[in-house]
Chains A and B, each alone.
Chain A
Amino acid sequence: MAELALGRQHAMAESAGMRQFAWLWGGLFLVLFPLLGLLGVFMRMYQAGWLQELVPDPQWFYAAMTLHGLGLVGLIYAASFVALLWAVSPHVQLQTRWLWISTGLTAVGVVLLVVNFFNGFAPGWYFLYPLPFMPSGAWSGTATDIFLAAVAVLGVAWVIWELELLRAIAARYRLGVALGWQYLRKGEPRPEIPPVVLVATVCAIAGIVALLAAVVMLVLMLVHRFSGSMVDPLVVKNLIFFFGHTLVNLAMYHGIGFLYSTLPKYSGQPWKTGIPLVVAWNLVLLLVLTAYFHHLYMDFAQPRWVNFVGQFASYGISIPAAVVTLLGTLSQVYRRPVRWTLASSLMFWGTMGWAIGGVAAVLDSTVAFNFRFHNTLWVPAHFHTYLLAGIVFITLGFVAHLAQELSGKSESAGMRRTILALLLIGGYGFVLMFYLSGANGVPRRYAIYPPDAELGVQLARIATFFVALVVLGVLLYLVTVGKQWGAALAGAQGSSASD
């Protein structure tokens, strides 16, 4: 079937614009991910008590935490979105002009955020109103203004490319068709749609809704900024978590869309749309918008039924993930002669991080358990599991896939195994220390642990050992993929010179 024109032709069939675009973002990811990750290394070493003399003011810990969190969430959202666009681009006609405008605006937003790091701006990645306006002297009103400008620019940037994706899908399919509803009727589904189109549609709709919530939040912040009067902090908290939760989840779903279309190239087995897949993703669209309530369980002022809706949605959303995507990934490769490369391996093991982090998330989304887990290190534990060992793996897989596909070069099996072993052992060791801390009541977002939380310091020290393994794994990855990247670039220049 034409839809499943796979393999090396994929790259050939791409418009040159899309290729350049994916290329640029792959490169950006390779540069920014290690830099922002280093801020994390700095934080963990700070918590281990090793840097407090070198950097006596804990404000730098919190400024690093803010840039690390905002930067990596933004980067992983954007990079995984590009992976999704890449995967969906053979099926719909994207206008790269809009994608470039979004990219340019994103760059402006990122520059503003980096400037603000040096302003000591430190309200945390999800900033709780009114903290940005009431920093107790730690940063200036100008820093807060710059931040609001950054949020506005990034909001506009991302609405543009989400809308472009939705437009491109709508130009080819009616919305109900793109959501796969024709599969739920009797008879042959017509037209058939590739899974990545369904996922992209769900992501674009949820993404636009989440970004609209961010706009409303921004307006409320501006009301405070210009009138000086308080707006309702509980309303703003709902908006920020709705936005933040959805953005982080979308990053994973972008990666899954990419996985649906790319893993088959390595397993040789097509991944087709069917009723379970359609039901699953329509359910995801409903549930992803209400699961965020689990961030507000400890706001006892929030209506109680809302919290239980949150628990219900958080439990519910794990079912399509496990039954369709995780089981689907496993059956893709089960007893098949899979072509294991760095790309396909990272994608495969990345889904495991999603599963294991997801289990921890479901436990924490239980109101009764959240009473003792909320804002302990259990939270960074579970999200680093599905971010670092999950979607980052998949995105690293995407970049490796691009590099291999475009250069035709692959790494040695020994190098592949070394990189995977370092990332897996280092990654899981690192998050395990967060889990152990969280279950023992060590708070998250503490630059320095109090003397009676000595355990937090001990576990941070052990964690840095595992972090070192991750750093080594990432370095080897960079060298390996960097070489392929260079070869592909040289090849592209060679071919365009001979055109």
Chain B
Amino acid sequence: MAPTTILLLWLIIALLVAAVYIYVWSTTKGSGEAGATASLTRFRKPLFIAMVVVLGATFLLTVPRAPYPKGQIPDAVVYITAKQFAFAQSLQPVSTDEEFGNALGYRAEVPVEGWVEFRVTSLDVNHGVAIFDPDGKLVGQTQAMPGYVNRLFVRLQKPGSYTIWCLEYCGTAHHVMQSGFEAVAQKLSSR
């Protein structure tokens, strides 16, 4: 589901909740027929069942859509290494500061439509690798953590320039930490 659809869903539920609150609040203005117990607890069971059904169904529908690697064969592999406050891209793993420095100038080219695997790690603190498409929409993300490699698989829909922003706070220049790569229509040199 697109984030804006989820926003809409939240907004609808939020307005419903607000409507219920305002309605219930408006019934409290009456002057003192305290005996008139019209309890709302009779809604307890229906609410319980409705929540179990809706949440259970959502759980079962969304778990298979989790963004974790599912054994895909990547059409391109790019290593992304984070270090305060830059990302290095490379076709080989980067594990030293020197390799990091050498890799800094490289800008990857990956195929659209195929599976691209990003192998993400960090040389210092936690960072985040978030990919934004040419229209600035957030495609997906993973964390960059020292000592771990997180494998992020994405299928890019549009050709053009993609931007990577750091999405885990990593220090006082966190907001300028970015990078980018190209997605092109044919499969190119990156493999």
| A219 interface contact, C-beta 8 A | no
Contact at B124–A331, with CB atoms within 8 Å?
Answer: no
What's the interface size class on A, roughly? 35 or more
Cβ-neighbour of A59 out of B1, B6, B172 (below 8 A): B172
CB distance from B56 to the nearest CB of A (A): 8
The interface stretch among B28-36, B89-97, B100-108 is B28-36
B72 within 8 Å of A (CB atoms): no
B38, B55, B58, B130: the one contacting A335 at CB < 8 Å is: B38
Q: Which of B34, B150, B169, B178 has the most CB of A within 10 A?
A: B169
Segment of A177-185, A247-255, A444-452, A463-471 engaged in the interface with chain B: A444-452
Q: Find out whether the CB atom of B67 lies under 8 angstroms from the CB atom of A135.
A: no
- A134–B1 Cα distance when bound, in Å, is 38
Which residue of A122, A124, A334, A359 contacts B28 across the interface (Cβ within 8 Å)? A334
Residues on the A chain within 8 Å of B47, using CB? 322-323, 327
Chain B positions within 8 Å of A378 at CB level: 3
Question: Across the interface, which residues of A come within 8 angstroms of B149, CB to CB?
Answer: 301
Known A335-B27, A372-B138, A447-B175: A352·B21 in contact at CB below 8 Å: yes
Q: What is the minimal beta-carbon distance from B58 to any residue of chain A, in angstroms?
A: 7
Q: A139's closest neighbor in chain B, by CB?
A: B172
Stretch binding the partner chain, chosen from A98-106, A202-210, A363-371, A480-488? A363-371
User: Known contacts being A131-B125, A335-B30, A367-B63, is A330 close to B24, with CB within 8 Å?
Assistant: yes
Chain B positions within 8 Å of A376 at CB level:
138, 167
The reply to whether B10 and A435 form a contact with Cβ atoms under 8 Å apart is yes
User: Is the beta-carbon distance between B20 and A131 smaller than 8 angstroms?
Assistant: no
Partner of B59, one of A136, A315, A443: A315
Is there contact, CB below 8 Å, between A368 and B124? no
Which residues on the A side are within 8 Å of B69 (C-beta)?
Answer: 300
* Complex Cα–Cα for A130 and B124 (A): 8
Whether A276 and B126, one on each chain, are in contact in the complex, defined by CB atoms closer than 8 angstroms, is: no
Check B136–A136 contact: CB distance below 8 A.
no
Quick check: A299 and B143 within 8 Å, CB to CB? yes
Contact string against A for B residues 171-184, beta-carbon threshold 8 Å, 1 for contact and 0 otherwise: 11111101000000
CB pair A136 B13 closer than 8 Å: no
Once bound together, how far apart are the Cα atoms of A300 and B138, in whole Å? 18
Q: Which residues of chain B from 1 to 41 have any CB-CB distance to chain A below 8 Å in the complex?
A: 1, 3-4, 6-7, 9-11, 13-14, 17-18, 20-21, 24-25, 27-28, 30-34, 36, 38-41
Chain A residues whose C-beta falls within 8 Å of the C-beta of B88 in the assembled complex: none
Kindly identify, within residues 343 to 385 of chain A, every residue whose CB is under 8 Å from any CB belonging to chain B.
348-349, 352, 355-356, 359-360, 362-363, 366-369, 371-376, 378
In chain B, residues 139-159, which have Cβ atoms closer than 8 Å to a Cβ of chain A?
A: 139-143, 145-152
Is chain B's interface secondary structure helix, strand, loop, or mixed overall? mixed
Q: Assess whether A441 is in contact with B143, with CB atoms less than 8 Å apart.
A: no
- What total of A-B pairs shows CB separation below 8 Å? 235
Let me know if A356 and B14 touch, CB within 8 A.
yes
Contact A371 B141 (CB under 8 A): yes
- Asked if A34 is at the interface (CB within 8 A of a chain B CB), the reply is no
Q: State which of B34, B148, B165 has its C-beta within 8 Å of the C-beta of A336.
A: B34
Bound state CA distance, A155 and B155, in angstroms?
A: 46
Q: Complex formed: what's the CA distance from A348 to B22 in Å?
A: 11
With a cutoff of 8 Å between Cβ atoms, the chain B residues found around residue A168 in the complex are none
Which of A88-96, A304-312, A391-399 lies at the interface? Answer: A304-312
B6 with A363: CB separation less than 8 A: yes
Binary contact readout B35-62 vs A (1 if CB under 8 angstroms, 0 otherwise): 0101111011001100110010011001
Interface residue? A12 (CB, 8 A): no
What B residues does A338 contact at CB under 8 A? Answer: 28
Bitwise, A320-344 to B at CB < 8 A (1) or not (0) is 0011100110110111111010000
Q: Kindly identify which residue among B38, B84, B146 contacts A233, using a CB–CB cutoff of 8 Å.
A: B146
Asked if A439 meets B7 with Cβ closer than 8 Å, knowing A62-B172, A136-B84, A268-B34, the reply is yes
Query: Is the Cβ of A232 less than 8 Å from the Cβ of B147?
Result: yes
The answer to whether B174 touches A319, judged by C-beta atoms less than 8 angstroms apart, is no
Q: How far is the CA of A336 from the CA of B40 in the complex (A)?
A: 12
B67: which A residues are within 8 A, CB to CB? 367-368, 371
B40's partner among A330, A349, A375 (CB-CB below 8 A) is A330
Q: Are B48 and A323 in contact (CB under 8 A)?
A: yes
Asked if A234 is at the interface (CB within 8 A of a chain B CB), the reply is yes
**Are A131's CB and B33's CB within 8 A?**
no
Other 8 A-B pairs with CB < 8 A, given A319-B48, A356-B13, A445-B169: A298-B141, A330-B20, A363-B6, A367-B66, A368-B67, A439-B3, A439-B7, A448-B176
* 17 intermolecular pairs with C-beta atoms under 8 Å apart: A58-B172, A134-B84, A134-B171, A237-B126, A237-B145, A298-B141, A298-B143, A311-B59, A327-B47, A333-B28, A368-B1, A368-B65, A372-B140, A378-B3, A438-B7, A439-B4, A450-B176
Interface of A toward B, CB cutoff 8 Å = 58-59, 62, 122-124, 128, 130-131, 134-136, 138, 230, 232-234, 237, 268, 276, 298-301, 304, 307-308, 311-312, 315-316, 318-319, 322-324, 327-328, 330-331, 333-338, 340, 348-349, 352, 355-356, 359-360, 362-363, 366-369, 371-376, 378, 435-436, 438-441, 443, 445-450, 452-453
